[in-house]
């Protein structure tokens, strides 16, 4: 059973919102992934909770609903949640939940009895083919000091599967307790399920076994065997809800050999919370591989998660005067670079500079744009800002594509030293000013690099000029270090200075900095012979 569409009317801050889950891919009726992006408080969580209420069934609805009035818009007397579901047999059914102001929970159940009976019948019919689970933004890890059996300590049913979305105090099932109970009940077959599931959900490690004396799950890592409870917070955060999900699925489909392949719906609020960026960037793949038949509806703030969305899978929730609205993202987010996502309207950043650097740039810009001649104080202030900004790389919306190309080019030239790579990059991309960290000495390769004045034994980054700066008034010519298209002649030819480029807004570097950093800037004319 999957969701086909959803319609909300006067639900909390949402006046009206429709979500279409139909897929644009051939031979696929509904999308596997739907990701909602938006600011805090714009209504993303309300969408997920509304789905949970509608699919909970008559047994779980009273426990999750709470006070009915809290779901109704302040200016309305009635709220409606309506959805079309597709059963395992391919039939479409419409479900509706109506909430009237002043109604108690019992009245709500009676008012919606017909729709709830239809849902309960569909759920019973699809008992072996349907699953629903939801996880709120505050996924409370289990109390590891408590070692009671899962069956006796935690409630069962759909109310438990959706509980963390509605209650901050809802405790998830311990992954360790699930693994130990499964190993005890199923034995060797249970171990294979644990190995497969944890291998997919906890990357970079594998299941080694269960220490029954210490009652702990042991994971194999690059640092050796480590108990699950001693892993980093990132792994703990992932393990907290992964363990609960694995328990719910294996408990619901006890007699299936492949319970993780069950069909159903999973709701995740802030799906990448507490995760390391490397994990965020691969989270969609992890969940796809672990649960191939789940329809996943999630919310996020992270460009790393947005970048994993395919075409038609990303929706932006915007806060408008009339209430939150849902706007489909036009295009394929997976084809965008992170810098483009950060600077796009999706995230809304105006620059990739730190707030401190951005403020300095804005102050300098306001002084430069001031009409008339500048006072001595303003000139001094500009000079001070320039000194503070030395070594930084400006990044604005317009500069992002060129910067991305530059970084890609740098990575493709591992055998050039820092100065050579930056000078070639400047010539190729017209980047007036880019800072480069020192790199390791170049290794021998098929790419020929012209000899510099610095002897090979000196494993230190060169300045742009390739020579030591001696004073602020004299600066040697910038010499080009690049790979010639043809094999070099036996006798080395003196490199020509780079042609002078049009004047650009360039902040001059300090002379002889404490930690040399290569800075590309327009070339200066070479000093005449015999002159200092």
pLDDT in tens, 89-115: 788 888 899 999 999 988 998 888 887
Give 425 or 328, the one with higher predicted confidence.
328
Architecture of the domain made up of 2-130+263-342: 3-Layer(aba) Sandwich (3.40)
Averaged pLDDT, 308-321:
92
Q: Are 58 and 118 in contact (CB under 8 A)?
A: no
How would residue 316 be classed by pLDDT, with cut points 50, 70 and 90? very high
pTM, rounded to two decimals = 0.68
Which residue, 426, 382, 390, is CA-closest to 515?
A: 390
pLDDT of residue 409: 55
CA dist., res. 147 & res. 478, Å (int): 70
Q: Is the pLDDT score of 394 beyond 70?
A: no
Token duo for residue 75: 């200016």
Q: Is the pLDDT score of 5 beyond 50?
A: yes
Alpha helices in 299-417 (DSSP H): 303-306, 338-342, 355-368, 376-389, 400-411
How would residue 127 be classed by pLDDT, with cut points 50, 70 and 90? low
Q: φ, ψ for residue 294 (rounded to 5)?
A: -90, 140
Q: Is the pLDDT score of 23 beyond 60?
A: yes
> For the chain, what is the mean pLDDT?
74
pLDDT of residue 431: 42
Q: Are 449 and 419 in contact (CB under 8 A)?
A: no
Which residue, 318, 325, 327, 272, is CA-closest to 299?
A: 272
């Amino acid at each position: 059973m999957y969701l086909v569409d959803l319609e909300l009317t006067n639900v909390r801050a949402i006046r009206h919102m429709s979500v279409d889950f139909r897929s644009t891919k051939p031979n696929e009726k509904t999308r596997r992934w739907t990701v909602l992006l938006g600011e805090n408080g714009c209504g993303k969580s309300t969408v997920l909770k509304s789905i949970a209420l509608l699919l909970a069934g008559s047994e779980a609805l009273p426990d999750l609903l709470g006070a009915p009035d809290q779901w109704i818009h302040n200016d309305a007397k009635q709220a409606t949640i309506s959805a079309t579901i597709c059963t395992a047999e391919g039939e479409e059914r419409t479900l509706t939940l109506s909430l009237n102001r002043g109604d108690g929970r019992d009245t709500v159940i009676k008012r919606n009895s017909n729709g709830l009976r239809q849902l309960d019948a569909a759920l019973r019919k699809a008992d072996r083919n349907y699953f629903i689970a939801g996880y709120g933004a505050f996924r409370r890890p289990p109390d590891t000091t408590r070692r009671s059996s899962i069956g006796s300590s935690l409630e069962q049913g759909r109310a438990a599967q959706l509980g963390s979305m509605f209650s901050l105090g809802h405790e998830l099932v311990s992954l360790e307790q699930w693994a130990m109970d499964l190993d005890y009940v199923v034995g060797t077959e249970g171990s294979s399920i644990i190995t497969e599931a944890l291998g997919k959900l906890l990357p970079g490690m594998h299941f080694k076994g269960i220490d029954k004396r210490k009652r702990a799950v042991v994971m194999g890592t690059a640092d050796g065997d480590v108990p699950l409870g001693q892993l980093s917070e990132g792994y703990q955060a992932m393990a907290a809800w992964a363990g609960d999900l694995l328990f719910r699925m294996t408990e619901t489909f006890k007699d299936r050999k492949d319970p993780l392949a069950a069909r159903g719906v999973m709701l995740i609020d802030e799906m990448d919370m507490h995760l390391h960026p490397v994990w965020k960037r691969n989270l969609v793949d992890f969940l796809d591989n672990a649960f191939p038949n789940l329809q996943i509806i999630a919310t996020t703030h992270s460009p790393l998660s947005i970048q994993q969305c395919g075409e038609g899978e990303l929706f932006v929730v915007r806060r408008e005067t009339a209430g939150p609205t849902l706007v489909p993202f036009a295009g394929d987010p997976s084809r965008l670079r992170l810098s483009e996502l950060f600077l796009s309207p999706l995230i809304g950043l105006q620059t990739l500079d730190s707030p401190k650097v951005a403020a300095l740039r804005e102050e300098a810009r306001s002084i430069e744009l001031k009409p008339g001649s500048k006072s001595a104080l303003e000139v001094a202030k500009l000079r001070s800002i320039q000194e503070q900004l030395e070594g930084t790389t400006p990044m604005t919306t317009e500069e992002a594509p060129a910067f991305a190309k530059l970084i890609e080019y740098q990575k493709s030239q591992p055998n050039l030293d820092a100065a050579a790579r930056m000078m070639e990059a400047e010539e190729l991309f017209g980047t007036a000013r880019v800072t480069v960290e020192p790199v390791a000495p170049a290794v021998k390769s098929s790419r020929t690099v012209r000899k510099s004045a610095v002897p090979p034994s000196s494993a230190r980054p060169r300045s742009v000029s390739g020579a030591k700066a001696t004073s602020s008034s004299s600066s040697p010519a910038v010499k080009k270090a690049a790979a010639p298209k043809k094999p070099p002649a036996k006798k080395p030819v003196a490199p020509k200075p780079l042609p002078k480029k049009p004047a650009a807004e360039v902040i001059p570097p300090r002379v002889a900095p404490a930690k040399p950093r290569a800075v590309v800037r327009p070339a200066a004319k070479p000093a005449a012979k015999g002159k200092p």
